[in-house]
Amino acid sequence: MEFEKFKTMQFPRDVYVGHGVMPNIINVARQYLKSGSIVIVTGNTTYGIAGKEIESLLVDNGFDVHVFKTDRAVGENLQALEAFSSEVRAGMLVGAGGGSKIDLAKKASFDLSIPFISVPTTPSHDGIASPRASIVEDNCTLSKEASMPICIIADTVILSRAPYRYLRAGAADVISNLTAILDWKLAHRLKGEEFSSSAAAISEYAAKELLEKSHMVMEGVEESVWLVTKQILASGTAMAIAGSSRPASGSEHLIAHAIQRTGPGNSIHGEQCAIGSVISMFLHGGDWQALSDAYSKMGLSIRVRDYGITESTVIKSLSTAHSIRPERYTILGETDISKNACERTLEVTGII
């Protein structure tokens, strides 16, 4: 048989990460803006944290800049952003904020075929460096095809301004790659799904690095932000190589999404992933205690009651999580898990 294998990989062209890297945005804009204006997609709070600074850097260097303040990544806001960008003839978008602003800019950039720069203000999840956007439609979060950022500017001075809770959540999102890889290997064995060992190796390296250094993920330390952000970017590279979120999203993410859908209390994505990864590691027969210990060193609780999530919510979430993305085969299998098995899993691991 002739050799017919091929694949496409999309990477950001420039990645600036570390202390005080923000002014590099001027050169990036000079290099990649072909014509038109620049739209900064930001929120009320994130404008103060990063948007304002980006605006003055660009305006002072002669760019035509517009600020589009928005909030959640919902269809309505996406349409408004796209209409605004067309009106001001945007040739480039800058997403400056936490998850939702970057998701909106990423999707609009894809729809309008113009480049976008990712400027994260929270190190809370791996979406800052991925080509997929989470957009909420009819109360359902959908992962949609979007643009890979042409450039990522992850300034640790800015990221340090986010509450510590976001940092440890970002670390948990990366540590939870460990179960995503076990699920991927399982799907490879049982379903013949294509597996990339290079993507898995990078993703696993990023997770292990943070698992081993979990005692160094501390509040008020810029170096902790550096440590976590680097591995978030490595996770993004693994996804880019695989051409999917597989290396960083398995059963633990299905559980996290199920909790988000059923009744998340006040938990955020990375915290839900931490809970999900302990459950998944237990189901895989792996060292779930090591994950639990690492989270506890960072001060991240995996007890659902600490987030106001009820026992029945987490039982229902675990039981039905497999149905969130049926094409993504994981340890959760293809049928609901019984209530008894869910209860036992959650009790043994200390989640309820």
Shortest CB 249 distance to Zn ion, Å? 6
Q: In 241-254, which positions are buried (b, 16+ CB within 10 angstroms) versus exposed (e)?
A: bbebbbbbbbbbbb
Give the C-alpha separation, 112 to 97, whole Å.
20
Shortest CB 123 distance to Zn ion, Å? 12
* Beta-strand pair 37-42/65-69: parallel
Residues 6+ apart with CB under 8 A from 118: 12, 95, 102, 105, 106, 128, 129, 149, 151, 152, 153
Task: Give the 3-state secondary structure of residue 56.
Answer: helix
Shortest CB 235 distance to Zn ion, Å? 9
Between 50 and 172, name the residue whose CB sits nearer to Zn ion.
172
Shortest CB 209 distance to Zn ion, Å? 17
Give the C-alpha separation, 205 to 275, whole Å.
21
Among residues 126, 187, 190, 186, the alpha carbon closest in space to that of 154 is found at 126
Between 125 and 328, name the residue whose CB sits nearer to Zn ion.
125
Between 173 and 183, name the residue whose CB sits nearer to Zn ion.
173
Shortest CB 254 distance to Zn ion, Å? 11
Q: Whose CB is nearest to Zn ion?
A: 173
Between 53 and 173, name the residue whose CB sits nearer to Zn ion.
173
Shortest CB 347 distance to Zn ion, Å? 26
Q: Is 233 left (phi over 0), alpha (psi -120 to 50) or beta?
A: alpha
Give the C-alpha separation, 50 to 163, whole Å.
15
Between 91 and 276, name the residue whose CB sits nearer to Zn ion.
276
Tokens of 204: 């696993």
Between 90 and 238, name the residue whose CB sits nearer to Zn ion.
238
Between 91 and 264, name the residue whose CB sits nearer to Zn ion.
264
Residue linked to tokens 């190796």: 201
Shortest CB 252 distance to Zn ion, Å? 9
| Residues near Zn ion, by CB under 5 A | 125, 173
Rounded to the nearest 5°, which phi and psi values hold at 183?
-65, -40
- Count of CB atoms within 10 A of residue 186's CB? 18
